[in-house]
Chains A and B, each alone.
Chain A
């Protein structure tokens, strides 16, 4: 069964309760993935989003990729080189890293040239830190707490 790597946001489960609840938006596709006989696993990263590996049918992977705010990364194996991607695709990955909250200096220092980088290296960099959430005074969710470690990309890769 094919696999796909995605970056997707966290969503808040509504109606809001005293303890606000957030979940990885991939959970909206859980039933479809399970129907295919597939599964998924995620690691939370910076920017209130997650890197998710999904094993599902091609139709389901395409449906997920078409969902707003979901981005499928056009590589499957962690050892794949990004050299096969177009410059536009590499720019999109770089913008995704910046959107997550990493600084241009961090990104440029780590990846002076994305064309010579392996796919897994990019994911591992994106999963180097996240921020702890908190319940704000108005009951909403703020993602501005202390720096936390992320679940490792290798563990996600092994699970799925």
Chain B
């Protein structure tokens, strides 16, 4: 990983009376789809709204970016076959919102993360989803730098690691960061994000090289390389 993640501070810990709407809790939040509530100091979709499931809010304090990031702790993961998103570069804070998001998808099998482009409230997966079982307490985030988007994941008590990088240039400008469509099962905490320093041309070039590396292939080559002398030593 070339740049540390995250490089911005936590903005919201959702400390308030359970059930308070997020927009009542703080004027820093505005409704993206419908308001959220507060439960146990964490975001929760409004009780009983899973059937409509349109809870989403954005941090209205400023536009961030174009180079920016968003992240949160997954205190309770979504129910199976449900997803939640953390968005950045979000535009049109209405029902036709768009931008980019990291999606956390819970399944009866292995859970997945993905980088999504959101157009008029439709999410399109960029490239492939990444298998990663989600455990309560894990964290995820998304960082946008110029035309690349990098998905980060942190297991409980672990370190941030990069899961995948995708390229897209549909939304190149600054926008809002947001929490999108939270079911009444999922709970997020320690929401953070904001603008990040623009990368120097030198660092941008290194990042492009790193993004192009096929890590699986590199790993298999390294394993093959280091096993060979070991096997020779054993045989002699």
Q: Which residue of B lies closest to A132 (CB)?
A: B119
Question: Contacts A22-B123, A37-B217, A135-B121 given: A151-B180 contact, CB under 8 Å?
Answer: no
Tell me whether B121 and A134 are in contact (CB under 8 A): yes
Tell me whether A24 and B52 are in contact (CB under 8 A): no
Q: Which residue of A lies closest to B54 (CB)?
A: A18
User: In whole angstroms, what is the CA distance A107 to B96 when docked?
Assistant: 33
Tell me whether A34 and B216 are in contact (CB under 8 A): yes
Tell me whether B128 and A30 are in contact (CB under 8 A): yes
Question: Inside 8 A of B167's CB, which chain A residues have their CB?
Answer: 151, 155
Nearest-Cβ distance from residue A158 to partner chain B, whole angstroms: 7
Among the stretches B22-30, B64-72, B81-89, B187-195, the one at the interface with A is B81-89
Q: Which residue of A lies closest to B216 (CB)?
A: A37
Among the stretches A38-46, A58-66, A82-90, the one at the interface with B is A38-46
Question: Inside 8 A of B217's CB, which chain A residues have their CB?
Answer: 37
Interface string of A9-26 (1 = CB under 8 A from B): 010010101111111101
Tell me whether B124 and A149 are in contact (CB under 8 A): no
Question: Contacts A27-B129, A37-B216, A40-B128 given: A21-B83 contact, CB under 8 Å?
Answer: yes
Question: Inside 8 A of A155's CB, which chain B residues have their CB?
Answer: 167
Question: Contacts A18-B33, A27-B129 given: A134-B216 contact, CB under 8 Å?
Answer: no
Question: Inside 8 A of A34's CB, which chain B residues have their CB?
Answer: 216
Q: Pull 21 A–B residue pairs with CB atoms less than 8 Å apart, ordered by A.
A: A10-B124, A17-B83, A18-B52, A18-B53, A19-B121, A19-B122, A21-B83, A21-B116, A26-B128, A27-B125, A27-B128, A27-B129, A30-B129, A34-B216, A37-B220, A42-B127, A132-B119, A134-B121, A135-B96, A141-B122, A149-B169
Q: Show the binding face of B for A, using Cβ within 8 Å.
A: 33, 52-54, 81-83, 85, 95-96, 103, 116, 118-125, 127-129, 131, 167-170, 180-181, 212, 214, 216-217, 220
